[in-house]
Structure 1
């Protein structure tokens, strides 16, 4: 069986059984009934479409299209990427669930898709990443530039980001070219996953599964933050962090364990008294 046939069958299966899309549509229908002024917007963005992927492609194109590159052109491009790689849509669904479960200000599956720039930025990165990996670097960099311009989120399209990722507020997020962010990571505004300015090649952090990175934290260099660890607000991390630990300060120091099994889900940023263990 060819890969294209397998992808088409996977897409058809999702269309038949797609609980995230079903719930999102239902919530949007209720929203349209309760807020007549938004009814037209909600219909053209969500209710007019038969699949989650079609709705997502339309919404993203509307956000980043301009007089130079029209929204219709971008919509065709996004449709192409989403059809070619079903994992983009799967990750986008997992991200919606992450927003709903972790953000106390998110009260429906529809809200991230319709209103949250962190979610939009992340999905635009996913399309740009697909373009980058298929030899279309100029278009990938164009999307990166548009997202940075519109949303103050700068994610290099070559970075590798898993699914179920939650970026809250999203102002001032920077994720460098060789960074890796695994599944189920949560980060707040002002986070930088950057280089030290002295390295070349593989020079950005590797954030393992389930990590929580709090407001304004900077993780710099080709270092690793171990799975299910926490980085405190305003911290500057210059050396690797072991799994299941909490690090805070400038420069960051270990202050004990992560406090729970899944810090990126609990979103608990309260830090205990630090010890004297330097990284």
Structure 2
């Protein structure tokens, strides 16, 4: 992952917020509370997301402290988040700037919250990580186990219904549409979930089941059910999924072209 200048990233977010307020005064309160009254990128993320997650079972103060502590003790999370913001901006034609995902896109918001939960899991706070997972699921309709390993540069587009099991691995620069499942099969424990390599594009509704590898730069068609490994730079589709051909793009995730006629 190429390092991002977080100071410049934060300044760009603030510039965008000022521009939005100038165009649309009705959003003044939202932008002040989320961005313009915040002192840092970490505080901005914390303020926006904890207020979405809070319910009667956890105080806002507990969630706020948890998020800020995670960002402080594991600074690479902010790098990953900035990388995700750039990925959404670069790959989603509905995204006009890097601020929009933070304000409105629940896929991005869910990934940020997962990253805090993953930090908790790795710190041995499994119970609280699982509790945060349940809040994320209830709030965003996205269910990612906190032990799952997800890289940066992730576009989780629309996001509704996305599921990633405990031993799932998603490498850097992957694009995932809504209703994708990275699930297990049967009731065996241990390493039982998919491994998605870098540059992969997973179409809407794709179900990838079991400890199978989706090779680097592969493409999985919408609605497919994948039960066997997918070779690198290969397009698959169908139920069960079959090889359609080779991908034209080295990294389909970046191009976002869902055409399987390669």
Matches of 1:29 and 1:66, distance apart in 2: 30
Matched, 1:131 2:120: yes
Matched, 1:239 2:223: no
Rg: which structure is higher?
1
Alignment correspondent of 2:156: 167
Judging changes above 3 Å, is the alpha-carbon distance between structure 1 residues 16 and 132 closer, same or farther for their aligned structure 2 residues? closer
TM-score (norm 2): 0.96
Segments of 4+ moved more than 6 angstroms: none
Alignment correspondent of 1:10: none
Matches of 2:169 and 2:103, distance apart in 1: 27
- What SS class does the counterpart of residue 58 from structure 1 fall into? helix
- What SS class does the counterpart of residue 245 from structure 2 fall into? strand
- CA offsets per residue over residues 133-191 of structure 1, 9 Å max, x none? 11111111111101111111000000000000000000100000000000000000010
- Structure 2 regions of 5+ residues with no counterpart? none
Judging changes above 3 Å, is the alpha-carbon distance between structure 1 residues 111 and 211 closer, same or farther for their aligned structure 2 residues? same
Among candidates 59, 62, 70, match of residue 70 of structure 1: 59
Among candidates 76, 93, 109, match of residue 87 of structure 1: 76
Alignment correspondent of 2:107: 118
Judging changes above 3 Å, is the alpha-carbon distance between structure 1 residues 222 and 23 closer, same or farther for their aligned structure 2 residues? same
Do the aligned partners of 1:24 and 1:110 also contact (CA within 8 Å) in 2? yes
Matched, 1:44 2:61: no
TM-score (norm 1): 0.90
Matches of 2:33 and 2:61, distance apart in 1: 14
Do the aligned partners of 2:4 and 2:79 also contact (CA within 8 Å) in 1? no
Matched, 1:202 2:187: no
Structure 1 stretch displaced more, 145-154 or 175-184? 145-154
Cα RMSD (Å) of the superposition? 1.5
Cα shift at 1:19: 2.3
Matches of 1:114 and 1:174, distance apart in 2: 23
- Structure 1 regions of 5+ residues with no counterpart? 1-13, 274-279
Cα shift at 1:84: 0.2
Superposition pairs of residues 196-275 of structure 1, within 5 angstroms = 196-272=185-261
Alignment correspondent of 1:55: 44
Cα shift at 1:66: 1.7
- What SS class does the counterpart of residue 261 from structure 1 fall into? coil
Matches of 2:241 and 2:9, distance apart in 1: 39
Superposition pairs of residues 19-38 of structure 1, within 5 angstroms = 19-38=8-27
